[in-house]
Amino acid sequence: MQSIGLWREPVADVGLREAAAMLSDSGLRMSSYCRAGFFTAVAGPERSDSLDDNRRAIEETAVLAAAGAPGSRAVLVLVAGGLPEGSRDLIGARARVREALEELAPDAAAAGVTLAVEPLHPMYAADRAVVSTLGQSLDLVSGLDSSVAGVTVDTFHIWWDPDVLPAIARAGREGRIAAYQVCDWRAPLEADVLLSRHQPGVGVIDFETLTRAVEDTGYDGDVEVEIFNATIWATDFEVVARDTVDAFGRWVGPHLRP
């Protein structure tokens, strides 16, 4: 393990300065900072607060990336947000995501940060992310500089999409892949579907095809194993680390360029 993706809530728990020091002392690269976004609200105080929070997240990303080992990437993963309460206007919500990206792009450019829009599986469209496909993410960042706005490719969220391979190829052509995350999908899902991510190899995702598609674009960033799973969280860290290295080595690593 040579890099780590950081999460905003634990960083907030210890404070940005302490988190940066911990990252520096670890000798690890930062692969991404997760997560900001959630900007589908209509104009008003809630939307203004969301944009201000995203600006803070951009600043945090820059500080942490500077503290990481050489090769750290100032990539801020963005989750679009779900429908505002009482709304059925999916098209309008997606339009507001684009408006937010346009508003935040200058802040990201000034900080040297890439905003990485992550599509989430459609089961999250109502409450978490109105952006469900890689193609939608690419459309949302179209026209913005690729150093400022890209996409996150997460196997859990995109494995089902019949258009995913052309979308990955398009993302490569446009220089948009800012992060690649892997984990597996196993049915039935947990009652809390957010905690349904598994180690590679225990479910149905075709890591060979997806990983080679990402590699074929020339992507040279880190590959993150991102797992939200209550059973795994309750397991001893050293066991989880060993299992993760083993699963990655068996199911993902063989399909990476030497």
Q: Where are the domains of the chain?
A: 3-183+205-227
> With b meaning 16 or more CB within 10 Å and e meaning fewer, what string describes 43-81?
eeeebeebbeebbebbbbbbbbbebbeeebbbbbbbbbb
What number of CA atoms fall less than 13 Å from residue 122's CA on the CB side? Answer: 6
Tokens 């990476």 locate to 256
Chosen CATH of 3-183+205-227 out of 2.60.120.700, 3.30.70.20, 3.20.20.150, 3.30.300.30: 3.20.20.150
pTM for this entry: 0.97
| pLDDT tens column, 17-61 | 999 999 999 999 999 999 999 999 999 999 999 999 999 999 999
- d(CA 113, CA 172) in angstroms, rounded, equals 19
Q: Give the pLDDT of the chain (258 residues) as one tens digit per residue.
A: 999 999 999 999 999 999 999 999 999 999 999 999 999 999 999 999 999 999 999 999 999 999 999 999 999 999 999 999 999 999 999 999 999 999 999 999 999 999 999 999 999 999 999 999 999 999 999 999 999 999 999 999 999 999 999 999 999 999 999 999 999 999 999 999 999 999 999 999 999 999 999 999 999 999 999 999 999 999 999 999 999 999 999 999 999 998
